[in-house]
Structure 1
C-alpha cells in the first residue's frame, strides 16, 4: 500500500472516506504461501487511512512439486483428482467451491475428496481462495496453480487435440497490414508473440492504464488474442460482421465469444467497433411472404408492405401469427443476397416466405418459424455461405426443427455451386480444423462431404452473395426443389 503525502492536517479535515482493496504479494507464513486482500478506508481529501481487517486470502503449500502428479496420490485418489482438475480446466479455472464440491461428492466419498484437495494444496498444485468467518477461514474457491498447467494437462490426459488451436497455436503468421487500424493490431500481436515466446508474463492495458487482460489467465488471454486476429482480418479484408457471425467465423461457434470477451475488446479498442468490422446486432426480424398477425389487439398484414416485412426484435414475443399462406420457406444467411432475392421477386409470396438468417438464427426468427409450422408451413430450405460455418448453422436450424412437422433441406451446398463462385477467400487453419471435425461425423451426405473436401483441396471458401447473378439464368423455384439436400 503506497504512502501518500498529505497537505491538510487530519484533525482539520471533514473526512470523506472511500474503501479500497488490493492483493498483497505471496509471502511465506509457516508452511504456506499466503496472499491477503488488504482493505482500508481512505479520506478523499486528506488521505487519512483506516486499516480494516482482511476478509479474503489465497493460500497454497510451500512443498515443491517436482515429480509426476500420480506419485502424490494413491490409485483410489487419482480419479478424484482427474475429475476435479478437469472441471477446473474446462471452467477456465473459475469454479465456486460449493458447487464444485457438491458435484464431486455425488461421485466420491467426503474423506477421499477432502484428502485429495489437501494433498494438492500442500504441494502447491491447488490454490485455496478463502473468506474470513467467525471461527477462522472458509474455502470460497479452488484454483489450479498456473505454474503447473502443463503437468495438470498431462495428468488428466488432455492431448494437444483437446486443446483449442487458438491456445495451442496462438500466433499464426499474418500478412503485412495495408490499413491504419490493421497496423495497430499487427504491432500489438507481434509484441505479444515476442513476450510469450520469451516466457515473459504479458499484461495488456487500455489507454488510461487499466489492465484489460493478462497472460496469467491463460484462456481469457489467448481468446483475446484470437479475437484480435479475427478483427485484423476484418479490417484488412473490409469485412463487416455481427458478433455471433464473427464468433462462428473465428472459433467455429456462435457462443464462444461471451459478454466479458466483448467488454475486454471494447475496453481496449473503444465501444464503437465498426472500424474493426463489428456491427451492432440487428434489431429487426426480416421476412417476406403472405401472412397476417395480431399485436396488442391490432391486426396486421404483410400485404401492406413492399417486398418484405421488418419487425422490431423486441416485438416478436408479443406477436401472434393468425394466418400463413406459404407452403415453403427459404432461410438466407447473407443480407445482400437476401434483399436481392426478395426485391427481385424470384419466389411468389403466396407460395414462399424468405427469412433473413444473417449468419445465425436467433430465438426471435425461430418463434416466427414455429408459428408458421403450426399454420401450414411444410418445407424449410436453408441457403448458407459455402464455408464450414454455413454448414454448422444449417445443421443447428435442422436440430431446432426436429419436433416440427416440417421437412428441412440444405440448398446451394454442392460442388457445382462452389465452382460457380468467381471470388473466393483463403481457408484459415481454424477453418480446416472445423472442416475435419465435420468430416469425422457419421451420416454426412456425400454431396456435402465432397464440398468440404473440395474446400481443403483448393484452400478456399466462399460467400453466397456473389451467386445472385447466376439466379436469373434458371428457374429458381425448380432449382430449389431439384438440387437441395435433405437434412
Structure 2
C-alpha cells in the first residue's frame, strides 16, 4: 500500500511498432503516471495509421528517409562515444542537442530495434519508454556500426595484417616512403618482441603495453599512409571521426603524431579547416538563380565545396590565375594593389591544392579566357613539392604552371633564412628534381648546398608595392 497520496499526470506516447498488412504502424497510448512514485497505468490505446519511416526490405536491411537516417547515425555515434552503454534519457538529450525532435529520435531507436542492433534493459516493468534503464549495441553488430559511421579502426591482430602488407610495398613518393619505414619498424618490433614502441630521439611516445593510445596512433598512421598514396585530402576533424568516432578524438595525440612524422600534417594531405575556396578576381557567376561577383567581398570571397559544385561562371575578361600557398601573403597582395586589377584571379591554395580548388580552376578554364597560370609557394622543399603536385593536376590538360619567386636569386634576397628540418632533408633526398622548371632545379640545389630555406611571408618585407604588382605582367 502506498504511504502517499498519488498525484497523477497524463501524457500520450507512441507504442511499439507492429507489422499490419505489410506496413509498420504504431498506436497512440494514453498513460497515467504518478509524479511521486512513478507508477504508471495505461488508460487507453488508440490505433493510428502512423507509419514508421524505417521499413524492412527484402534483404533484411532497413530503408529510411534522409532525416531519419541522419538521426540513426547520430544515435549510433552517441552510443559509440559513450562506450556502448547509455541511459535512455541521456541518449535522447544528447541526440536532441543536435537538432532532432523527440519523434525523430523515437523513429531512429525503433529502426535500430527492428534492425536487431540494439538491446534494452528495463529498470522496472512498464510500457513507458522513459523507464528504459539503458540501451546497448549488440556486441557482434559492432563491425556493422563502425562501417555505418565510417570508422576504420583495426585491433592488434588486424594491424599486424595491415603492416605485413605495407612492408611488401615499394613506394616512390617521399612522404609515403617515410611512413612505410615507420610502419615497417613497428611490424618488426611486434613480431620479434611482441611489443611495439613509438619513439622519437629515444623518448617513448606510445607503447603497445598501453593499447588505447598505441592503437589509436597506429590506426592514424595507417590511414595517413593510404591518404598519401591516393593523394586524398581530408580535414583533421574527419580523420578523427574516421579513427575514433569523435571529432576531437585525435586532438590529444596530434603533437605526438607530428613528432613521429617529423613534419606538420599539412604535408600529408591533412588540413585543420573546412575545404574552402578563397578567391578574388574579375568574374561573375550564377548559382541557383542568384548572381554574384568574384569581387563581391573585400579583399576576397569564400566558396564552399557545395557552391563550387553548382557554380556557373557567367562573364570573365581575358585574365590570368595566380595561386598562392600562404594566407597572409594572399590577403596582403590583394590589399597592396591586386584587388584593383582586372586581369588576374588570385586563389589561396591552403598548402597542397585541394580537389575543390582544382574543380573551380577547371570551371574557369572552360571559358578559354585564361592566358597563363602561376603559382607562388614557400621557397623550401615542401613549397617545391606543392608546386609539383599542382602542376601534375593540370599537365593532364596540357596546361603549364609557372613558378613565381621560386628561384635561387629571389630566395637569396630574403633577410631571414632558416635551417632545413629533418622532414625537409628527407624530402630532398627521396624526391627527384627532374622535370622541374630550371629555376626550381637551381633552388633545389641551393637547398642542398646551403642547408637553409625561406618563408613566403618574408618576401613582403623586401618587395615594394610596385615589385609585387609586376610579379604578374599586365595584359
Query: What's the TM-score, normalizing by structure 2?
Result: 0.51
Cα distance in 2, alignment partners of residues 475 and 292 from structure 1: 28
Alignment check: 8 A CA contact 1:165 1:430 kept = no
1:421 alignment partner in structure 2: 414
Assess, with a 3 A threshold, how the Cα gap between structure 1 residues 145 and 307 changes in structure 2: closer, same or farther.
Answer: closer
Asked whether the 8 Å contact 1:373–1:404 carries over to 2, the reply is: no
Q: Does 1:322 align with 2:314?
A: yes
Question: For the residues of structure 1 that align with 2:444 and 2:398, how far apart are their CA atoms?
Answer: 30
Query: What is residue 443 of structure 2 aligned with on the other side?
Result: 451
What's the counterpart of residue 428 of structure 2? 435
Q: Which residue of 2 aligns with 1:262?
A: 240
Show the 5 A alignment for 1:259-338.
Answer: 261-263=239-241, 264=244, 266-267=248-249, 269=251, 280-282=272-274, 284-302=276-294, 304-338=296-330
Contact 1:266 1:272 in 2 (8 A): no
CA change 1:269–1:404 in 2 (3 A) is: closer
Partner of 2:201: 173
Q: How far does residue 259 in structure 1 lie from its aligned partner after superposition? A: 6.7
- Matches of 1:303 and 1:258, distance apart in 2: 30
**Deviation for aligned residue 1:203:** 2.1
| Residue of structure 1 equivalent to 2:209 | 201
Displacement, 1:94?
6.6
Change (3 A) 1:353 1:166: same
SS of residue in 2 equivalent to 1:281: coil
Q: Which residue of 2 aligns with 1:220?
A: 219
Do the aligned residues in 2 keep the contact of 1:316 with 1:364 (CA within 8 Å)?
Answer: yes
1:367 is aligned to 2:355: no
What CA deviation, in whole Å up to 9, does each residue of 1:89-141 have, x standing for no partner? Answer: xxx9979xxxxxxxxxxxxxxxxxxxxxxxxxxxxxxx8xxxxxxxxxxxxxx
CA contact (8 A) 1:288 1:308 kept: yes
Distance 1:323 1:261 in 2: 38
Give 1:322 deviation, angstroms: 0.8
* Whole-angstrom CA distance in 2 between matches of 1:166 and 1:252: 19
Partner residue of 2:370 out of 365, 377, 388: 377
Task: Supply the distance in 2 between the matched residues of 1:411 and 1:335 (Cα, whole angstroms).
Answer: 16
**TM-score, normalisation: structure 1:** 0.50
What are the equivalent positions in structure 2 for 1:458-469 lying under 5 Å apart?
A: 458-469=450-461
Answer whether contact 2:236 2:272 (CA < 8 A) is retained: no
What are the superposed Cα offsets for residues 364-422 of structure 1, whole Å, 9 maximum, x if unpaired? 32233122212211210000112222222222222222354643212222112222233
Equivalent in 379, 390, 400 of residue 393 of structure 2:
400
Kindly provide the CA deviation profile for residues 9-54 of structure 1, in whole angstroms up to 9, marking residues without a partner as x. Answer: xxxxxxxxx9x99xxxxxxxxxxxxxxxxx99784659xxxxxx99
Structure 1 residues 422 and 45, CA gap change in structure 2 (3 angstroms): farther
Cα distance, 1:470 vs structure 2: 2.5
- The structural deviation recorded for 1:362 is 2.4
> Which structure 1 segments of 5+ residues have no match?
1-17, 22-38, 47-52, 57-91, 96-126, 128-142, 175-189, 205-212, 228-246, 483-487
Q: CA RMSD in A?
A: 5.3
Structure 2 residue runs without a partner (length 5+): 1-78, 85-116, 125-137, 142-151, 187-197, 259-263, 266-270
Partner of 1:6: none
Q: 1:220 to 1:192 in 2, by over 3 A?
A: same
| 2: CA distance, partners of 1:308 / 1:221 | 35
Pair 1:192 & 2:208 matched: no
Q: CA deviation at 1:256?
A: 8.3
Q: Deviations over 1:432-455 (max 9, x none)?
A: 22222323x533334323322322
Match of 1:339 in 2: 331
2:381 alignment partner in structure 1: 388
TM-aligned CA distance change 1:153 to 1:349, over 3 Å: closer
Instruction: Report the counterpart of residue 57 of structure 2 in structure 1.
Output: none
Hey, what's the Cα distance between the residues in 2 that align with 1:332 and 1:310?
15
Instruction: Measure how far apart 1:307 and its partner are.
Output: 3.7
Give the Cα–Cα distance (whole angstroms) in 2 for the partners of residues 221 and 399 of structure 1.
27
Count of residues in Structure 1 that have an aligned counterpart in Structure 2: 315
Distance 1:268 1:305 in 2: 35
2-structure distance, mates of 1:40, 1:296: 42
Q: Please give the alpha-carbon distance, in whole angstroms, between the structure 2 residues aligned to 1:451 and 1:424.
A: 14
Task: Give, in whole Å, the separation in 1 of the partners of 2:343 and 2:463.
Answer: 18
